[in-house]
Copies of this chain bind each other. A is one copy, B any other.
């Protein structure tokens, strides 16, 4: 998960929601509805903030909100992926920790990926730089683990790209088939795919 959600008590006493919490809600909305599909009315409902309050926090409107969500996604990646890469354990151990994180944030294949949704939206040009940075960081982290495991750099790079693309595609496919199994199977296979000793792939 991104952060601990507000307790029910906190919600019902309408205690002030921190900006972090607001961004978490935005993250969920954009993940679910995409950029073009997300309306201010729904965002208002999901955050409990009126439109004026939203524009107070995000003067640039939806675009600002999506940028905040992308920053959050980047932060999530640093905490859950980059940190795991530089952490203790064998390459396999480290990958397993990352996969746990992915399994959680994608809810076992029932959630979409906010990156994929923003890539698919008509506003993608607005976010191209951020998307490129995040995808590059993600690929770089996987590449590093494979290299640590003895995979040659060039092959590690290709496998890392395949791993990221495989996850994105599995999420699309699972959504299209209305069956989360393709995603779950992809996650199970990803460690061996990245670290395989075989010369090809």
Q: Which of A9-17, A47-55, A80-88, A167-175 contacts B (4 or more CB under 8 A)?
A: A167-175
Question: Given contacts A165-B166, A201-B193, is CB(A176)–CB(B115) below 8 Å?
Answer: yes
Q: Which of A18-26, A100-108, A119-127 contacts B (4 or more CB under 8 A)?
A: A119-127
Q: How many copies does the complex hold?
A: 2
Provide the main secondary structure of the chain A interface: helix
Of the candidates A119, A136, A165, the one having the most CB atoms from chain B within 10 angstroms of its own CB is A165
A129 (CB) vs chain B CBs: closest residue: B178
How distant is the Cα of A132 from the Cα of B182 in the complex, in angstroms?
13
Inter-chain contacts of A168 with B (CB < 8 A): 168-169, 172-173
Give A163-192 interface residues, CB cut-off 8 Å to B.
Answer: 164-170, 172-173, 175-178, 182, 185-186, 189, 192
**Chain A window 71-111, contacts with chain B (Cβ cutoff 8 Å), 1 for yes, 0 for no:** 00000000000000000000000000000000000000000
Inter-chain contacts of A134 with B (CB < 8 A): 176
A115 (CB) vs chain B CBs: closest residue: B176
How distant is the Cα of A136 from the Cα of B179 in the complex, in angstroms?
11
Residue A41 interfacial (CB < 8 Å): no
CB of A46 to closest CB in B, whole Å: 14
- Return 12 A-B CB contacts under 8 Å, by A number: A112-B120, A116-B120, A117-B120, A131-B176, A132-B178, A135-B176, A136-B177, A161-B182, A164-B169, A165-B182, A192-B200, A196-B200
> Interface of A with B (CB < 8 Å)?
33-34, 36-37, 112, 115-117, 119-122, 124, 128, 131-132, 134-136, 158, 161-162, 164-170, 172-173, 175-178, 182, 185-186, 189, 192-193, 196, 198, 200-201
Shortest 6 CB-CB contacts between residues of A and residues of B: A169-B169, A165-B169, A36-B36, A37-B122, A168-B169, A120-B120
